Amino acid sequence: MAVNPEILEQHFAQLAEQSAQHRVEVLQELAREQPELAQRLAALLDAHDRDTAGLGALGAEALRRVTAFDPDSLKGRKLGRYRLMEPIGRGGMGVIYAAERDDDGIVQTVAVKLLSSPIFDPATAERFRREANALARLDHPDVCRLRDWGRTEEGWAYLVLDRVHGDPIDRHAAKLPVVRRLALMVRVCRAVTAAHRQLIVHLDIKPENILVDDAEHPVLLDFGVAGILSAETGAAATMTRWMTPDYASPEQLRGEPATVAADVYALGALLYRLLTGKRAFELSGVPLTDAIARIEHGAMPPSRVINGISRDLDA
């Protein structure tokens, strides 16, 4: 469903100067009824925080073009050498399209991710270029490969990625014995470690961002996308704080600078999910202060949740 630009502008005007916690509470409430509007609004607020002057200089018509596009209306549009086919996924950080590149009759199928946060100013554009360059150098068999990147004329950044087929890791792991679930996690941890060695963090590790094929080959998606969308200081973006709290670290929920430690925390939460089939903490819709308190109190050990799991895995 397309976002009504007038409603988007009204919400933005109400929240632009509000505190981070107030924004999150409003976005959480809005997401229950109008998730796409909430996603667009979060993206616009993050862009406003990065570059108030650039955003303020936009006229009303330009603001509508930048913030309220209808993903279905972009089908058939060409971005660089790639033609968008149809949306295949939507989330807080963007819309993913199946796309094709046709070079003299040789057709390649890829995925194009149109990021949710517009880029207005040269400094942010340069940071996006640096981040994309770093991701392109991240060569690991268990990380989705970045092929290309660019920006639309409206200012939307996009990434061209390998098209990956598979099931989310938690769904795939549910069919496996514990030892094979652990083997999957070892591969995921090695991929994350390889990225950390190149000073690239994920910041949004969750089951939906790790697909596993029939050969039990895990592939991490969206590596570095949160870093591209977040402020240059490394602080977590508004969208990260309200979209995926179940795998977000306490510092991310507080809006503090997030480092590799946030990925380590998310890997622990993911392992808990794979071992028990449950989230370590059910935080959706929970106020931030209560969510952080639950995390700091600690989760129930996996061996007490599921019979047969070794206490060695409780740590």
Instruction: Pick the closest to residue 149 from 138, 161, 134, 164 (CA basis).
Output: 161
Contacts of 75 (CB under 8 A, 6+ apart): 84, 85, 86, 87, 97
The one-letter amino acid code at 103 reads D
The one-letter amino acid code at 56 reads G
**Residues 68 and 4: beta-carbon distance below 8 Å:** yes
Please identify which of the residues 49, 167, 170, 204 carries the catalytic annotation.
204
In 145-177, which positions are buried (b, 16+ CB within 10 angstroms) versus exposed (e)? bbbbbbbbeebbbbbbbeebebbebbebbeeee
The span from the CA of 112 to the CA of 45, in Å, is: 23
Cα separations (Å) of 217 from 30, 182, 197?
37, 13, 22
Would you call 142 a catalytic residue per the annotation?
no
Contacts of 66 (CB under 8 A, 6+ apart): 58, 118, 154, 155, 156
The span from the CA of 79 to the CA of 196, in Å, is: 30
Q: Is 174 helix (H, G, I), strand (E, B) or coil?
A: coil
Q: Would you put residue 18 in left (φ > 0), alpha (ψ -120 to 50) or beta? A: beta
Contacts of 175 (CB under 8 A, 6+ apart): none
Residue 94: both structure tokens together: 């963007």
Residue with tokens 């622990």: 268
Active site residues: 204
